[in-house]
Amino acid sequence: MIIEIIVSGLIIIAAVVIFVKNIKKQASGECNCGSSTCSSSCASANQKKKITK
Amino acid sequence: MITAALIGNPNVGKTTLFNSLTGSNQYVGNWAGVTVEKKEGFLNNSIKIVDLPGIYAMDTYSNEEKVSKNFLLNEKVDVIINIVDASNLTRNLYLTTQLAAFKIPIILVLNMVDVAKKKGLNIDYKKLEKELNVKIIPIVASKNTDIDKVIDVLKEGNFFGEAIDNDFHFRNENEAYQAIEAILKKCTQQTPNLGKTLTDKIDKIFLNKFLAYPIFALILVIIFLFTFSWVGGPLQNLLDSAVNVALIPELHILLASSSPWFSSLLIDGIVGGVGSVVVFFPLILSLFFCISILEDSGYMARAAFLMDKIMTKMGLSGKAFIPLVMGFGCSVPSIMSARTLESEKDRKLAALLIPLMSCNARLPIYVLLTSVFFPKHQGLVIGSLYLLGIALAFLIGILFKNTLFKKDDEPLIIELPDYKFPEIKNLLFHTWDKGKGFIKKAGTIIFSISIILWVLSNFSFTGKSNIDTSFLASIGRFISPIFKPLGFGNWQNSVALLSGLAAKEVVVSTMGVLYGANLAKVIPTFFTPLTSYVFLVYVLLYPPCISALATMKKEYGNKMALFALTYQLALAWVVAFIVYRIGILL
């Protein structure tokens, strides 16, 4: 029972954190489609990543 | 650190070269306007490569031209990598003559020299190098041929001191083109009468006055059949069986000894929510695969050309077809890509119409309800929704054109790239990349909302409660009167629509949590065929997601975002109401 409560608590906390993070991202206008390159314009955040060869 | 600006006309292979130089995986498309913002990558940590949007000249004023011009003016650029289409030198070199004015060393990369050769064009590179006074490197970016030469030149830095310092100062366009023609006359030789290219032959059929539209319609039908009947549909059924027939019963057995609420959290909350969306993965992959073929083959630009007349009637230029088509994938990048349109009015109007193009996130909802209520006519019903979106975009476009966005029609100038056989590697990459996004969403926003909804549907102010007295039921009952006149106003559907604002797939996962995992069996209790269709119409037309609204706000300001939200909510309600009323009469 205790393990079930702990596991459930962790799942719920994770869900809330993911939800808040995602909504924050969306509210800043970041793409919601999940793809990194669905369009060059979409992944503006990714473009800032330093890509090295 | 050396900064190199990669610049050239649209669709000449800038992003392909950028990817080769930096080892990056930026999106590459066989149509103009793929890049609308600058991108940065690094070669050997010591050379920064900046991929700028494709432009034809520096003297016009679309947003991508501004991005490129401002970058060259305001940033410290050590060298310009001017990539040009070797098979179309006259037009491409016009930009080169304008770049000369920036007094920055230029490396002229002649891409697609293989295509030029096929077209019978022989270029004397040494002579051209001398005439233009720039370093010239012929390459074939798509085949990675001679990219190492570009890398060597950049590494060695031997472009310094080679800034064009000649007489490239022209009073007007004509003068510039005359000078370019004169140079090319000295440096190139055209083998006459090579006959028509394959692209010419295909275009003769695909752009034929009488055949073009039937072929376009046929292509769309094939995409639908491939997605729903031939490949996507059967695979979806398999996955659905795996989840509902194998996984869920197995989980019930595994969790038999645990508390009922715990197994409910795992089975109804997580598997019911996420699983009900994940089963649509094969459909999404199939659709993306087809779209990738259209993009890579070069047909997408032809489609824009064909749609120009219709677009003009909607108050848009044919160029707006591309952002609108992208809207079938995801509204967010489409709204952003509307910035490639020349006029502000065009951009705003396109951004307002894009959400009416049914984005792929809505597909799982369509498939779920149509498979239950219209199993024999599933493709037809889903097709009717797509068509309804297009028809409404057409009508709203005309309405806005004559009220909010009055302007003169502008002619369409669009480049028709050569047809090419889509590269399997590219196709798979694009398909997987888009599909990966769907899975990522399932693991993040869909997962989190499913859990939150499970909690809200199992608890109330008094603690653990029945679903009908839960927090969620209270929220749902508060908003459900809005949907009562539309025929589907129970609290569960109201909550599903509300949660769908986070992402459209969440509508399905919400139903999965609220109605139980085996949705197909339960749903007929809550809908009739008519109300299910009305529900789908509402889903088609109400705002796609928070991201799309936020993008609208970012691109066009608060007023536009608020206007978009209001008009989409109103349109969805009114159209759904009309469909419902007509349905009752029938």
Question: Are B129 and B273 found together in one domain?
Answer: no
Q: How confident is the model at residue B577 (pLDDT cuts 50, 70, 90)?
A: very high
Contact B329 A50 (CB under 8 A): no
Q: For tokens 């949590």, what's the residue?
A: B513
CA B313 → CA B294, B384, B386, B391, distances in Å? 25, 22, 19, 12
Together in a domain, B185 and B225 = no
Residue B222 phi/psi, 5° resolution?
-60, -40
CA distances from B328 to B256, B291, B296, B387, B441 (A): 43, 10, 17, 12, 17
Contact B329 A31 (CB under 8 A): no
**Cα of B263 to nearest chain A Cα, Å:** 9
Per the domain annotation, does B21 fall within a domain? yes
Closest residue in chain B to residue A22, using alpha carbons only: B445
The pLDDT of residue B172 is 76
φ/ψ (deg, to 5) at B246: -100, -55
Tell whether B80 and B144 lie within a shared domain.
Answer: yes
Q: Please report, as a single letter, which amino acid is at residue A42.
A: C
- Give the C-alpha separation, B491 to B514, whole Å: 10
Confidence of residue A45 (pLDDT cuts 50, 70, 90): very low
Q: What is the CA radius of gyration of chain A?
A: 16
Question: Alpha carbon B335 to chain centroid distance?
Answer: 9
| CA B175 to each of CA B58, B90, B92, B129, B171: distance values in angstroms, whole numbers, following the listed order | 16, 13, 15, 21, 7
Find the CB nearest A51 among B22, B332, B334.
B22
Whether the complex's predicted ipTM surpasses the cut of 0.85? no
Q: What is the DSSP letter of B429?
A: H
Regarding whether B236 and B186 lie in a shared domain, the answer is: no
B141: in domain:
yes
What is the rounded CA–CA span in Å between residue A15 and residue B447?
Answer: 7
Helix (H, G, I), strand (E, B) or coil at B82: strand
Task: Answer whether residue B147 is part of any domain.
Answer: yes
Domain CATH number, residue B23: 3.40.50.300
User: What band does B15 get if pLDDT is binned at 50, 70 and 90?
Assistant: confident
Q: Lowest-pLDDT range, A27-41, B64-78, B92-106?
A: A27-41
Q: Is the predicted pLDDT of residue B33 greater than 70, yes or no?
A: no
Chain A contact for B265 (CB, 8 A cutoff): yes
DSSP summary character for residue B189? E
Query: Is residue B415 included in any domain, yes or no?
Result: no
User: From the list B329, B361, B550, which residue is nearest A27 (CB)?
Assistant: B550
Q: Does B39 touch chain A (CB under 8 A)?
A: yes
A53 neighbourhood in chain B, CB within 8 Å: 21-23, 41-44
Contact B41, B345 (CB under 8 A): no
Residue B40 has its nearest CB partner, among A30, A42, A47, at A47
Domain that holds residue B71: 2-190
**pLDDT over 50 at A48, yes or no:** no
Is B201 part of any domain?
Answer: no
Whether B357 has a pLDDT exceeding 70, the answer reads yes
**Does residue B165 surpass a pLDDT of 70?**
no
Task: Give yes or no: residues B224 and B175 share one domain.
Answer: no
Domain count, chain B: 2
Q: Assess whether B300 and B379 both reside in one domain.
A: yes
Structure confidence at residue A44 (pLDDT)? 39
Residue B414 within a domain: no
Q: What separation, in Å, do the N-terminal and C-terminal C-alpha atoms of chain A show?
A: 51
**Cβ-contact B514, B496 below 8 angstroms:** yes
Element (H, E) at B224: helix B212-225
B79-85 vs B2-8, strand pairing mode:
parallel
Q: Do A33 and B329 touch (CB under 8 A)?
A: yes
- Give the pairing of strands B121-123 and B188-190: antiparallel
Q: What is the mean pLDDT of residues B167-175?
A: 74
| Angle formed at CA B474 by CA B469 and CA B477, multiple of 5 degrees | 115
Residues 532-561 of B with CB under 8 A from A: 545-548, 550-551, 553-554
CA distances from B126 to B115, B356, B379, B420, B469 (A): 19, 53, 58, 30, 82
Contacts of B333 in chain A (CB under 8 A): 31, 33, 38-39, 41-42
**pLDDT tens digits for B393-430?**
999 998 988 888 776 666 666 678 888 888 888 788 87
Give the separation between CA B272 and CA B511, rounded to whole angstroms. Answer: 9
Tell if the CB–CB gap between B451 and A31 is shorter than 8 Å. no
Q: Residue B219, class by beta-carbon neighbours within 10 Å (0-12 exposed, 13-18 middle, 19+ buried)?
A: middle
pLDDT the model gives residue B426 = 78
Interface residue A13 vs chain B (CB under 8 A): no
**Cβ separation of B42 and A51 shorter than 8 Å?**
yes
* pLDDT over 90 percentage in chain B: 39
Nearest to B333 among A31, A47, A50 (CB): A31
Mutate to test the interface with B, among A24, A28, A51 (most CBs of B within 10 A): A51
- Are B15 and B110 in the same domain? yes
Measured between beta carbons, which residues in chain B are less than 8 angstroms from residue A8? 261-262, 265
Query: Rounded mean pLDDT of chain A?
Result: 69
pTM for the model stands at 0.75
Q: Are strands B47-51 and B39-43 parallel, antiparallel or unpaired?
A: antiparallel
* Cα B310 from Cα B333, distance rounded (Å): 23
- The pLDDT score that the predictor gives to residue A43 is 38
Q: Note whether A6 contacts B: Cβ–Cβ < 8 A.
A: no
Put simply, the answer to whether A11 touches B25 (Cβ < 8 Å) is: no
pLDDT tens column, B176-187: 888 899 999 999
Kindly calculate the radius of gyration of chain B based on its CA atoms and give it in whole angstroms: 27
Q: Compare CB distances from A8 to B262, B329, B339 and report the shortest one's residue.
A: B262
Q: What is the pLDDT of residues B258-308, one digit of tens each?
A: 999 999 999 988 998 888 888 888 887 888 888 888 878 889 888 878 887
Q: State whether B37 and A18 contact (CB < 8 Å).
A: no
- Do B335 and B552 contact (CB within 8 A), yes or no? yes
Q: B272 is written with which tokens?
A: 């019911």
In this structure, of B71-80, B142-151, B510-519, B573-582, the range with the lowest mean pLDDT score is B510-519
Instruction: Indicate if B257 and B380 belong to the same structural domain.
Output: yes
Q: Is the dihedral of CA B396, B398, B403, B407 positive or negative?
A: positive
Q: Assign residue B490 a region (left: φ > 0; alpha: ψ between -120 and 50; beta: otherwise).
A: beta
Residue B4 reports pLDDT greater than 80: yes
Q: Which residues of A touch B22 (CB under 8 A)?
A: 51-53
Give yes or no: residues B183 and B220 share one domain: no
List B43's β-bridge partners, or say none: B47
Number of H helices, E strands in chain B: 29, 10
Confidence of residue B84 (pLDDT cuts 50, 70, 90): very high
Question: Is the same domain home to B479 and B559?
Answer: yes
B140-154, B278-292, B377-391, B472-486: range with lowest mean pLDDT: B278-292
- Strand bridging mode B106-111 / B135-138: parallel
Last residue of one domain, picked from the residues B126, B156, B190: B190
Q: Is B211 on the interface with A (CB under 8 A)?
A: no
Q: Do B26 and A39 touch (CB under 8 A)?
A: no
Q: What are phi and psi of A2, to 5 degrees?
A: -65, -40
The alpha-carbon gap from A33 to the nearest alpha carbon of chain B, in Å, equals 6
CB atoms closer than 10 angstroms to residue B140 = 19
Higher per-residue confidence, B465 vs B172: B465
Same domain for B160 and B253, yes or no, is: no
pLDDT at residue B27 tops 70: no
Report the distance separating Cα B547 and Cα B135, nearest Å. 45
Cα nearest neighbour of A36 on chain B: B433
In a domain, B413, yes or no: no
In a domain, B335, yes or no: yes
A vs B, Cβ pairs < 8 A, gives 162
CA angle at residue B580 from B578 to B582, to 5 degrees? 70
- What pLDDT, on a 0 to 100 scale, did the predictor assign at position B71? 85
Query: Which one of B6, B300, B339, B547 makes the best mutation probe of the A interface by having the most chain A beta carbons within 10 Å?
Result: B547
B220 and B186 co-located in one domain:
no
Contact B22 A52 (CB under 8 A): yes
